[in-house]
Amino acid sequence: MGAGAIGTVKEINYWTNRPIWPQGIDRPVEAFNVPPTLDWNLWLGPAPERPYAPAYAPFRWRGWWDFGVGALGDIAPHAMDAAFWALDLGFPTRIEAESTKIFPETAPKVSRINYEFAAKANRPALKVIWRDGELSEPRPSGLVPDVQWPGFSDVGSQLWVGTDGMLLADVYGDGVRLVDDKRHQELTNHPPAQKYPRSAGHYKEWVAAAKGGPPAGSNFAGHAGPLTQMVLLGNLAVRSQQALEVNPATGEITNARMAEEYIKPTFRKGWAL
């Protein structure tokens, strides 16, 4: 991203229009008939038993802690992937979160989560700031007027702040441009040499790995798992409503004890892992 055009990265901001499903709500108490095409018991799986309600399915399960991980878990693994890979983020050292009202069973309507990462190898310390619920980073000074802000038409955006400039992209890391228009045009007219091999695409990588080929670039053990662990530590900060100190080598929280159900939920009878 940017081929060093913004110098050393100091801070990365992410923001999204998610959730676009209900969050910050209590469990419904109305009675509903189960749709004839839905096996409600099977859909519940290991989650605690409850009556069917359209507040859960279809689609709306994302905001419920028993079924999903809220806006952060839905979008941040996509958005933070490039930084996690390119900057070797690993685990943070500290996480602070603020949000709208906390509900027992659902993620909040809006949250802002600050991750702090210590210096690592040749990379200095940096901050990663996550915003959801249509909170957005202020428009950077110097951005040309024709660039839409805050960019919610495509889920969200990200802004990388470096020692020598700023880089803007959509939430998936596409549509990259420098905030400084003159430097952006120079880089567009004289693109840098390709530094890393391009992926054949995650579908092709997955099929090749399933057939005994090399592991996919986002394989569970080497990339997707650690990335997801890092992201979801932010939900622990939201749910516990306190700043968390983290061991960057292990991801262990060192200044607080998390509720057991946040880490390892109890499975319903008949389900086991």
CA 253 vs CA 17, 92, 109, 233, 244: distances in Å: 29, 10, 25, 9, 7
pLDDT tens by residue, 2-61: 467 899 999 999 999 999 999 999 999 998 999 999 999 999 999 999 999 999 999 999
Task: Please state the φ and ψ torsions of residue 130, each to the nearest 5 degrees.
Answer: -110, 135
What range defines the domain where residue 219 resides?
A: 9-20+68-263
Is 50 a domain residue?
Answer: no
Q: What is the pTM of this model?
A: 0.94
Is 61 a domain residue?
Answer: no
Number of separate domains in the chain: 1
CATH of residue 244's domain is: 3.30.360
pLDDT tens by residue, 206-223: 999 999 999 998 999 999
Is 83 a domain residue?
Answer: yes
The residue that leads in pLDDT, 264 or 244, is 244
Is 27 a domain residue?
Answer: no
